[in-house]
Amino acid sequence: MELWKDKIRKVVPYVPGEQPNMPDIVKLNTNECPYPPSPLVEKAIREFNTSDLRKYPSILCAELRSALTKSYPVGAENLFLGNGSDEVLALCFQTFFNSEKPILFPDVTYSFYDVWCELYNIPYKRIPLDKDFRIVPEDYYGNNGGIVITNPNAPTSIYMDIEYIEKILENNRDVIVIVDEAYIDFGGRSAVCLLGKYSNLVVVQTYSKSRALAGIRVGYAMACRELIEALEAVKNSFNSYTLNSLSQAAAAAAALDNEYFESCVNKIKNTRQRLINELDKLGFETLPSSANFIFTANKNIEAKELFAYLRSKGVIVRYFDKPRINDRLRITVGTDKEIDRLLTEIKNFIKERTQ
């Protein structure tokens, strides 16, 4: 028996959506943008001086930081940049949640939160969404070690108006409130406008979804200077150079192309509405989506069965075998062509079953 095995940390990791390597598949399972990033990204990568890769990246990320402050009403000192919003969120958990009291988040939400709590030994409590999968703000008032709200929530796709975010902040002055806005650009108003009023608010966003840059891993937190400095110190105790030079250049280019960004977001919103309408006709009940995905159920169809059928036809969506949501599918809003293929396969499924 090798004794070193006793001292190895054992954890149950988060399981991301599968990344199958099959030809001609329609991949609607990881909420990626179906459109390529801004043409300015291609230009930035083509023009990048690869000789400079011999040097460490800029720790300050000055160019990217400056580009981001053009999109949001924050200063450079209010931004913390990281290797994807997962890294940013993990560092937030590690930095801000050191209370004996449990942190609170919904029972149905991003499934990485409890994984980070386990990793960092943070006590936590899952607060049930109501029967319509909505967050009940009052459930989050006081007596906790911190709060994490995904808005719009995932996988529900439902947006909570920021007046309720503010209510939660008003009733939680003594702990950190994180608002994870990975999907905010697809239909909500960012809580970033509350930063001036609440020094305990942290807003986290990503370039993986609406900016079509999941491949470069860029996420960021926006908060008051003191919280950003605390994050920087923990990050610099872990890995000083988390954001590589090429990703910095690509994200900075994308940040400056709001016109392209908005046209992509609008296309996705239009396709989303069409998808919801078509699913309505097929008897699906879809939650009101403010995200680039929908969360849908059909009383007459086993979600798990439909998931497997679609997969066998090369259409990959996401199924969560978990309480409350195992009758639903999460479907990323792809291109119109991809959604047509999805709808065709769903119709085939229904036809085959009723024969």
The verdict on 216 binding its own copies (CB under 8 A) reads yes
What is the distance between the alpha carbons of residues 306 and 301, in angstroms, rounded to a whole number?
7
How many residues touch its own copies under the rule CB under 8 A: the total is 88
The residue within the footprint of its own copies, chosen from 244, 256, 269, 350 (CB under 8 A), is: 244
Q: How far is the CB of 240 from its own copies (least distance, A)?
A: 5
| Angle between the N-to-C axes of helices 258-281 and 336-354, in degrees from 0 to 180, rounded to the nearest 10 | 10
Residue spans of beta strands (DSSP E) within the chain: 26-27, 79-82, 103-106, 124-127, 146-150, 177-180, 201-206, 219-222, 285-286, 293-297, 315-316, 328-332
Q: How many CB atoms lie within 10 A of CB 211?
A: 26
> Cis ω on the peptide bond leading into residue 137 (within 30° of 0)?
no
Which range touches its own copies (CB under 8 A), out of 40-48, 123-131, 301-309, 321-329? 40-48
Nearer to its own copies, 83 or 156 (CB): 83
Give the shortest CB-301-to-its own copies separation in angstroms.
28
Q: Scanning residues 250 to 269, which ones bind its own copies (CB under 8 A)?
A: 250
140 near 169, Cβ under 8 Å? no
Residue 133 φ/ψ region, left for φ over 0, alpha for ψ in the -120 to 50 degree band, beta for the rest: left
Sole window of 147-155, 156-164, 241-249, 285-293 interacting with its own copies (rule: CB under 8 A)? 241-249
**45 is a site residue for its own copies (CB under 8 A):** yes
Rg (CA), the chain: 21
Query: Least distance in Å: CB of 59 to its own copies?
Result: 6
Q: Is there binding between residue 41 and its own copies (CB under 8 A)?
A: yes
Q: Tell whether residue 7 is a contact of its own copies (CB under 8 A).
A: yes
Q: Give the nearer residue to its own copies in terms of CB position, either 33 or 279.
A: 33
Structure tokens at 214: 């999941």
% helix, strand, coil for the chain, step of 5 = 45, 15, 45
Within residues 184-213, the interface with its own copies by CB under 8 A covers: 199-200, 208, 212-213
- In the complex with its own copies, the residue whose CB is nearer, 103 or 158, is 103
Span of 43-51, 133-141, 150-158, 159-167 interacting with its own copies by CB under 8 A: 43-51
- SS3 assignment for 196-255: CCCCCEEEEEECCCCCCCHHHCCEEEECCHHHHHHHHHHHHCCCCCCCCHHHHHHHHHHH
Out of 20, 73, 75, 118, name the contact with its own copies by CB under 8 A: 118
Q: Does 83 bind its own copies (CB under 8 A)?
A: yes
Which of 8/259 has CB closer to its own copies?
8
Residue 66 token pair? 């400056």
Question: Which one of 3-11, 280-288, 305-313, 334-342 is the stretch in contact with its own copies (CB under 8 A)?
Answer: 3-11
Q: What are the b/e assignments for 94-127, b being 16+ CB within 10 Å?
A: bbbbeeeebbbbbebbbebbbbbbebeebebeeb
First to last CA, the chain: 59
Interface pick for its own copies out of 4, 24, 70, 299 (rule CB under 8 A): 4
Residue type, position 180, single letter: D
Structure tokens at 47: 């023009």
Q: Which stretch binds its own copies (CB under 8 A): 245-253, 271-279, 280-288, 295-303?
A: 245-253
Is 50 near its own copies (CB under 8 A)? yes
Q: Which of 35, 66, 256, 327 is the binder for its own copies (CB under 8 A)? A: 35
With CB under 8 A as the contact rule, the residue among 72, 74, 84, 168 that binds its own copies is: 84
Shortest distance in whole angstroms from residue 265 CB to its own copies: 13
